[in-house]
């Protein structure tokens, strides 16, 4: 059995910006943080969630994006330091979120410095070609990058034709090896799962076709800051689509408080079974407690 922890949207506290960095779309995110978002995303909540994961016995952590807010140099330096303190590249897989690709120069500003946690190669210094894949026993954790520098006023995503084609081949080859395929992506994988059109995946229909044709056992995503579970019937069985709220969300906000989910993945008689334990901030904000348990299967 593989134990896989899923967290998303930590939104580490804004670390500052150089004057020149705000002469762009970043100014909108900077103002949003100063006026509102700092009340939502609290470091003390994130610390409680990460301590709970550390005590859980999870083999690996899957992080579906949005470490940063406006993709500045200072933010990426803080994000790398935080990742280093949480887990080495061999123990954590990260895919970028829309805030990590907020502007066109995000890679130069420091997103590339997080590449070791995208590939598992400690010496990696440039952004990898997606999709990526990490093999955890009989589980293939497949990273998809849905983020790009979206236009002003949008938080949309896009996978792109080249990545979709590669994903189709990877899903097929992993199935042939008898692996459980867990796809990690930031944006909701289906158009109907987006909370607003401006936040949706632009090529969601194409991604849905790939999943339906080639199959997957689970898709982990974030972006909406909500708990969610949906199922998609595919050519190889049922794919479970699982989302979690922001790992740093405070209590009393418009979204559920910070939480995470543990996937326990096993196989019996040719069927993949996934037990999902969801844990979240307690009502008093003093700890992380069990919320619900889902018992899922690739056949029902």
Q: According to the model, what pLDDT value does residue 282 have?
A: 96
The pair of structure tokens assigned to 211 is 């999943």
Residue 17's pLDDT band, with cuts at 50, 70 and 90, is: confident
Tell me the C-alpha distance between 46 and 212, whole Å. Answer: 35
The mean per-residue pLDDT over the stretch 276-280 comes to: 98
β-pair partners for 262: 5, 277
Best CATH choice for the domain 2-297 from the list 3.20.20.70, 1.10.630.10, 3.60.21.10, 2.60.90.10: 3.60.21.10
pLDDT at 185 over 90: yes
Query: What pLDDT band is residue 86 in, cutting at 50, 70 and 90?
Result: very high
What's residue 172's pLDDT? 98
Q: Is the pLDDT of residue 300 over 80?
A: no
Other beta carbons within 10 Å of 36 = 9
Reported as a single tens digit per residue, the pLDDT across 133-182 is 999 999 999 999 999 999 999 999 999 999 999 999 999 999 999 999 99
| Percent of the chain predicted with pLDDT > 90 | 94
- Check pLDDT > 90 for residue 16: no
Which of 237, 214, 114, 221 lies closest to 229 in space, CA to CA?
221
Enumerate the H helices of 87-126 as residue ranges.
106-109, 116-119
Facing residues of 263 across strands? Answer: 4, 276
Mean pLDDT to the nearest integer, 79-88: 97
Cβ 199 vs Cβ 156: under 8 Å: yes
Distance CA 279, CA 291 (A): 5
Going from N- to C-terminal start, the domains of the chain cover 2-297
Residues in Cβ contact with 95 at an 8 Å cutoff, skipping those fewer than 6 apart: 63, 64, 65, 118, 130, 132, 143, 144, 145, 146, 184, 185, 186
130-136: Cβ within 8 A, 24+ apart? 130/95, 130/163, 130/166, 131/163, 131/166, 131/167, 131/170, 132/93, 132/95, 133/170, 133/174, 134/60, 134/93, 135/179, 136/2, 136/4, 136/59, 136/60
pLDDT, residue 20, reads 87
The pLDDT of 18-29, averaged and rounded, is 90
pLDDT at 18: 85
Band of pLDDT at residue 23, cut at 50, 70 and 90: confident
Place of tokens 């008689």: 269
DSSP reduced 3-state for 173 = helix
Is-cis flag, bond preceding 131, omega within 30?
yes
Residues facing 5 on adjacent strands: 61, 262
**Looking at residue 15, what is its pLDDT?**
87
Residue in the structure block whose two tokens are 């690739």: 298
Instruction: Quote the percentage of the chain above a pLDDT of 70.
Output: 100
Q: Give me the half-sphere count of Cα atoms (radius 13 Å) on the Cβ side of residue 143.
A: 27
What gap in Å lies between CA 185 and CA 278, rounded to an integer? 19
Q: How confident is the model at residue 220 (pLDDT cuts 50, 70, 90)?
A: very high
Band (219; pLDDT cuts 50, 70, 90): very high
**pLDDT given for residue 2 in this prediction:** 95
Q: Is residue 41 very low, low, confident or very high in pLDDT (cuts 50, 70, 90)? A: very high
Do residues 258 and 245 touch, judged by C-beta distance below 8 A?
yes
**pLDDT tops 90 at residue 5:** yes
What are the two backbone dihedrals, phi and then psi, of residue 246, each rounded to the nearest 5 degrees? -60, 135
Sign of the torsion formed by the C-alpha atoms of 116, 117, 120 and 126: negative
Least confident range of 16-25, 70-79, 117-126, 217-226: 16-25
Query: What pLDDT score does 263 carry?
Result: 98
Do strands 60-63 and 228-234 pair parallel, antiparallel, or not at all (unpaired)? Answer: unpaired
Q: Does an H or E element contain 154, and which?
A: none
């Amino acid at each position: 059995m593989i134990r896989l922890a899923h967290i998303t949207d930590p939104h580490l506290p804004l670390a500052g910006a150089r004057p020149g960095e705000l002469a762009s779309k970043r100014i909108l995110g900077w103002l949003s943080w100063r006026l509102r978002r700092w009340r939502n995303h609290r470091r003390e909540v994130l610390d409680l969630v990460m301590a709970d994961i550390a005590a859980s016995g999870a083999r690996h952590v899957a992080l579906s994006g949005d470490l940063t807010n406006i993709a500045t140099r200072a933010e990426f330096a803080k994000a790398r330091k935080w990742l280093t303190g949480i887990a080495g590249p061999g123990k954590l897989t990260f895919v970028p979120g829309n805030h990590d690709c907020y502007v066109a120069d995000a890679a130069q500003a420091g997103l590339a410095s997080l590449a070791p946690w995208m590939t598992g190669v400690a010496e990696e210094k440039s952004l990898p070609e997606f999709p990526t894949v990490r093999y955890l026993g009989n589980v293939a954790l497949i990273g998809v990058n849905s983020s790009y520098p979206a236009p002003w006023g949008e938080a949309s995503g896009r996978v792109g034709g080249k990545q979709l084609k590669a994903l189709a081949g990877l899903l097929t080859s992993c199935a042939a090896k008898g692996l459980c395929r867990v796809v990690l992506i930031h944006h909701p994988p289906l158009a109907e799962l987006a909370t607003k059109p401006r936040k949706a995946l632009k090529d969601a229909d194409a991604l849905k076709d790939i999943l339906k044709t080639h199959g997957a056992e689970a898709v982990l995503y974030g972006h909406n800051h909500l708990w969610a579970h949906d199922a998609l019937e595919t050519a190889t069985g049922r794919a479970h689509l699982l989302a979690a709220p922001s790992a740093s969300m405070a209590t009393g906000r418009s979204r559920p408080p910070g939480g995470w989910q543990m996937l326990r993945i096993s196989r019996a008689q040719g069927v993949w079974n996934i037990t999902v334990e969801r844990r979240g901030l307690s009502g008093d904000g003093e700890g992380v407690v069990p919320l619900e348990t889902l018992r899922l299967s690739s056949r029902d």
